[in-house]
Amino acid sequence: MKYAMLIYGDDSAWVDLPDEERAALRTDEMPQWISLFEELRRADPTVSGKELDGRNTAKVVRVRDGERLVTDGPYVETKEILGGVFLIDLPDLDEAIRLASLIPAAKDTGSIEIRPILQ
Amino acid sequence: MQFITLIHTDEAPWETFSDEEKEGWYERYRQLMRDAEAAGVLAGGHELASTRDATTVRIRNDETLVTDGPYAEVKEALGGFFVFECESMDDAVDWAARIPGAEHGAIEVRPVHVDPEEVQL
């Protein structure tokens, strides 16, 4: 079964950091992510992932009565925002849960939502 | 640059649609994919199963908490996404506006983060 692991977290503090501090935090966290990537690749060599830029880069597009409405900012009703996604083929949900629990962003206020991908 | 277009729509009406109605929407999505492919901008896309089939994992105080359902109940849930390879946000917004879900939901467009210095998956 192919799954999407949707990584939700509150990035409001993160996007407001000065560039150097954000870069330093990324460098600190990178080893945890690299070991996660290795674990994901062991589970599925075809795994892929996308990290999304912060909430300040988002636009929302709606079309109503043929008219296009574009607004700045993410589509959110919550503090948490989608920050990235992994696409991975796994034998079952238990394995997806095990791997999701290794994602560093599952900690603090983060959540990993696992959704099957329809073929 | 890659842009992801996150398709947020109300799931409730979809579940009331007949197979013919669903097929009509699917055909519009397939047409968009054919157009995007012909334009050389389609870099991926997936439809997600309903939020009813979602499982959410959180780590709190070193404990793994697993719950059924999405991370949050929102009226217009993420139902799928496309990834477009575009020159600019304006071009990505043009493609987002052609997604059928834009007519009844909301499409969030976000640049995909790429740092050539960093390890990517």
Shortest Cα distance from B13 to chain A (angstroms)? Answer: 17
- How far is the alpha carbon of A24 from chain B, nearest alpha carbon, in Å? 13
CATH of residue B54: 3.30.70.1060
Lowest average pLDDT, out of A14-18, A95-99, B41-45, goes to A14-18
pLDDT on residue A76:
82
User: Nearest residue of A to residue B57 by CA position?
Assistant: A112
pLDDT digits (tens, 9 = 90+) for A24-83: 988 999 999 999 999 999 999 999 999 999 898 999 999 999 999 999 989 887 888 999
Q: Cβ of B74 and A60 within 8 Å?
A: no
CA distances from B118 to B44, B101, B113 (A): 22, 34, 11
What is the average per-residue pLDDT within B7-18? 94
Each residue's pLDDT tens digit, A53-66: 989 899 999 999 99
Does residue B116 fall inside a structural domain? no
Q: pTM for this one?
A: 0.95
pLDDT of the residue at A36? 96
B118 vs A36 pLDDT, higher one: A36
Question: For the domain that residue A107 is a member of, what is the CATH number?
Answer: 3.30.70.1060
Q: Average pLDDT of B54-74?
A: 95
Contact A62 B105 (CB under 8 A): yes
- Residue B68's pLDDT band, with cuts at 50, 70 and 90, is very high
Q: Which domain holds residue A95?
A: 2-116
Q: A52 with B110: CB under 8 angstroms?
A: yes
Of A4, A32, A66, residue with least CA distance to B4: A4
CB contact under 8 A, A97 and B66: yes
Q: Based on the structure, what is the number of domains in chain B?
A: 1
Q: Judge whether B2 is closer than 8 Å to chain A, CB to CB.
A: yes
Is position B64 within any domain? yes
C-beta of residue A51 within 8 angstroms of C-beta of residue B113: yes
Q: State mean pLDDT over A98-116.
A: 95
Residue B121: name the closest of A93, A18, A79, A34 by CA: A34
Size of interface A-B (CB pairs under 8 A): 146
- The shortest C-alpha distance from A49 to chain B (Å) reads 5
Three-state SS at B99: coil
Answer yes or no: is B118 within a domain: no
Inter-chain CB proximity A101 and B64 less than 8 Å: yes
Looking at residue A119, its pLDDT comes to 75
Minimal-distance CA residue of chain B relative to A113: B56
Whether B117 is in a domain gets the answer: no
Quote the number of domains for chain A.
1
Residue-level pLDDT at A79: 85
**Mean pLDDT value across chain B:** 95
Whether B54 sits inside 8 A of A114 (CB atoms) is yes
Would you state the pLDDT for residue A118? 96
pLDDT band at B56 (very low <50, low <70, confident <90, very high): very high
Measure B6 CA to nearest chain A CA, in Å: 9
The pLDDT score that the predictor gives to residue B95 is 98
Banded pLDDT at A16 (limits 50, 70, 90) = confident
Beta strand A59-64 pairing with A81-89? unpaired
The pLDDT > 90 percentage for chain B reads 89
Q: Is residue B58 part of a domain?
A: yes
Put simply, the answer to whether B57 touches A48 (Cβ < 8 Å) is no
Rounded mean pLDDT of B93-100?
98
Which range of residues forms the domain containing residue B63? 2-111
| B37 within domain boundaries | yes
- Cβ of A80 and B71 within 8 Å? yes
Bridge partners (DSSP) listed for residue A117? B48
Centre a 10 Å sphere on the Cβ of residue A94 and count the other Cβ atoms it contains.
Answer: 11
